């Protein structure tokens, strides 16, 4: 539906083009774009500057938690090049359908529906070789040319960074209530996460909160807590930037298993400290959204 052969070729810019100075950031981030039409009361962005910090886990569990409350919830996977949300929800075998005019989201429950590039691939190993304009077109179609219906919440999972996907959705989606920043505790991750916070502020959006993921690990044998990636980094940057700190989530093998099995952790395992931590974070996050 989105394929364009011109986007599959290698870049052919001239040496002169490559040597020109890049556009100033202020102009590129604030170029006006037309808003799309989608009936969603609250659009929430899940992002970070670095990959591998657990954004997809947060997005899946937040969407599931909202849907379990009876809220009509959409989950939009904008990781165009590496769509993993279908796997984490056990929806890998599904394909997007169309009524001839609009895409029809894959429905997981009566209150949770999902759109992902992963539903459009012929094979799971197929790469999506697109540049920015094609991605922007796809994002617009995922919003306005999709039969979402009336949504209470649209949770948008973004790939690492503050490039095309993040910039496009922040500019064209209506009712964006803010962004959740996901980080791990170590300095290498928090350094990049501060850039994500600055990006959200540049877009004149609220930072709903910072989540410190992979914060500590309890040995199942001796029950000693080990700070594999340090501790407190997410809380520190939240304080430095005067934004809410939503909480810490430890490293837990059951969390990894839940993702691989296609079952959101928050809907599976309720008798663990990790479940309690995630549930508390979701409660705080929902409260922050409601306060906007």
CA atoms within 13 A on the CB side of 262: 9
Q: Which two three-digit tokens encode residue 10?
A: 């290698």
Confirm if 115 and 74 have CB atoms less than 8 A apart: yes
φ and ψ at residue 39, rounded to 5 degrees: -90, 80
Instruction: Report pTM.
Output: 0.84
Domains of the chain: 35-291 (3.40.50.300)
Confirm if 155 and 75 have CB atoms less than 8 A apart: yes
- Write down the pLDDT at residue 159: 92
- Write down the pLDDT at residue 11: 36
**Spans of the chain, pLDDT less than 70:** 1-32, 269
- Write down the pLDDT at residue 32: 63
- Write down the pLDDT at residue 269: 63
- Write down the pLDDT at residue 17: 44
- Write down the pLDDT at residue 63: 94
- Write down the pLDDT at residue 37: 84
The DSSP annotation for the chain comes to: ----GGGGSPP---HHHHHSPPPPHHHHHS---PPP---EEEEEEEE-SSSSSSHHHHHHHHHHHHHHTT--EEEEE--SSS--HHHHTT-TT---EE-SSSEEPEEEETTEEEEEGGGT-SSTT------HHHHHHHHHHHHHTB---SEEEEEEE--SSSSHHHHHHHHH-SSEEEEEEEE-SSHHHHHHHHHHHHHHHHTT--EEEEEE-S--EE-TTT--EE-BTBSSHHHHHHHHTT--EEEE--B-HHHHHHHHHT--GGGT--SSHHHHHHHHHHHHHHHHHHH-
- Write down the pLDDT at residue 88: 95
- Write down the pLDDT at residue 220: 77
- Bridge partners of 107? 113
């Amino acid at each position: 539906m989105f394929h364009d052969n011109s986007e599959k070729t290698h870049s052919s810019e001239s040496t002169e083009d490559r040597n020109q100075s890049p556009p100033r950031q202020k102009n590129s981030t604030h170029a006006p774009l037309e808003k799309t039409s989608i009936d969603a009361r609250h659009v929430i962005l899940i992002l970070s500057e670095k990959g591998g910090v657990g954004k997809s886990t947060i997005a899946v569990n937040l969407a599931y938690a909202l849907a379990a409350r009876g809220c009509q919830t959409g989950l939009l996977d904008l990781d165009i090049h590496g769509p993993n949300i279908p796997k984490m929800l056990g929806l890998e075998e599904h394909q997007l359908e169309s009524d001839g005019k609009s895409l029809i989201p894959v429905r997981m429950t009566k209150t949770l529906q999902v759109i992902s590039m992963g539903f459009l691939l012929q094979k799971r190993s197929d790469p999506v070789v697109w540049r920015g304009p094609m991605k922007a077109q796809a994002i617009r179609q995922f919003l306005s040319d999709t039969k979402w219906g009336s949504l209470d919440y649209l949770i948008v999972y973004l790939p690492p960074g503050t490039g095309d996907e993040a910039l496009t959705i922040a500019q064209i989606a209506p009712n964006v209530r803010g962004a959740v920043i996901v980080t791990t505790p170590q300095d290498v991750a928090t350094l990049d996460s501060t850039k994500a916070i600055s990006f959200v502020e540049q877009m004149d959006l609220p930072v709903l909160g910072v989540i410190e993921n992979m914060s500590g690990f309890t040995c199942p044998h001796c029950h000693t807590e080990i700070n594999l990636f340090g501790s407190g980094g997410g809380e520190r940057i939240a304080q430095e930037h005067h934004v809410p700190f939503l909480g810490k989530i430890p490293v837990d093998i059951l969390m990894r298993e839940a993702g691989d099995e296609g079952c959101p952790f928050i809907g599976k395992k309720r008798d663990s400290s990790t479940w309690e931590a995630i549930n508390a974070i979701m409660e705080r996050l929902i409260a922050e959204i409601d306060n906007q």
